[in-house]
Chain A
Amino acid sequence: MADAPKAKKQIIPDKNPMPAQDALERSRNFSEVATGYTRETAMAEASRCIQCKNTPCRQGCPVEVDIPAFLKLASEDDFAGAIAKIKEKNALPAVCGRVCPQESQCEKYCTLGKKHDPVGIGRVERFCADWELSTGVKVPEVAAPTGFSVAVVGSGPAGLTCAADLAKLGHKVTIFEALHVAGGVLMYGIPEFRLPKAVVQAEVENLKKLGVIIDVNSVVGKFATVDQLMEEGGFDAVFIGTGAGLPYFMKIPGENLCGVYSANEFLTRTNLMKAYLFPQCDTPIKIGKRVAVLGGGNVAMDAARTALRLGAEESWIVYRRSDKELPARREEVEHAHEEGVKFALLTSPTKIMGDDNGVVKEMECLKYELGEPDASGRRSPVAIKGSEFIMDVDTVVVAIGQGPNPLVPRTTKGLEINRKGNIVASVETGATSKAGVYAGGDVVTGAATVILAMGAGKVGARSIHEYLQSK
Chain B
Amino acid sequence: MYKILRKEVFSPIIKLMDIEAPKVAKSCRSGQFIILRIDDQGERIPLTIADYDRERGTITIVFQEVGKTTEQLGAMEAGDYIKDFVGPLGEPTHIENYGNVIVVGGGVGIAPVHPIARDLKEAGNNVIGIIGSRNGDLLFWEDKMRKACSELHVTTDDGSYVRKGFVTDVMKEIVEARGKENIALVIAIGPQPMMRACCNVTKEYGLKTIVSLNALMVDGTGMCGCCRVSVGGETKFVCVDGPDFDGHQVDWAELSKRGAYFREEEQRSKEKHTCKCGCGGGK
Contact = CB atoms under 8 A, between A and B. Distances in A.
B83 A286 contact: no
Interface stretch (B85-93, B145-153, B167-175): B85-93
Interface in A49-67: none
Interface string A238-249: 000000011101
B268 interface: yes
A218 interface: yes
B104 interface: no
B219 A247 contact: no
B225 A265 contact: yes
Interface in B35-71: 37, 41-44, 68-69
B260 A256 contact: no
Interface in A180-201: 180
Contacts of B260: 258, 357
Contacts of B235: 249, 251, 255-256
A359 interface: yes
Nearest to A179: B219
Contact of A258 (B26, B218, B261): B261
A278 interface: yes
B23 A279 contact: no
A407 B240 contact: yes
B177 interface: no
A359 to B, nearest CB: 7
Interface in A258-289: 258-259, 261-262, 264-265, 268-269, 273-274, 278-284, 286
Contact of B262 (A219, A273, A286, A405): A286
B84 A180 contact: yes
Chain B, interface size category, equals 35 or more
A358 interface: yes
B7 to A, nearest CB: 21
Q: Which of A249, A258, A405, A407 neighbours the largest number of chain B CB atoms within 10 Å of its CB?
A: A258
A384 interface: no
A75 B282 CA distance: 49
Contacts of B83: 180
Interface stretch (B126-134, B188-196, B203-211, B226-234): B226-234
Interface of B: 23-24, 26-27, 37, 41-44, 68-69, 83-89, 218-219, 221-226, 228-230, 235, 240, 253-254, 257-258, 260-262, 265-266, 268-269, 272, 282
Interface of A: 178-180, 216-219, 222-224, 245-247, 249, 251, 255-256, 258-259, 261-262, 264-265, 268-269, 273-274, 278-284, 286, 357-359, 405-407
Per CB-CB distance, the 5 closest pairs between chain A and chain B, nearest first, are A358-B257, A284-B265, A265-B224, A282-B43, A245-B223
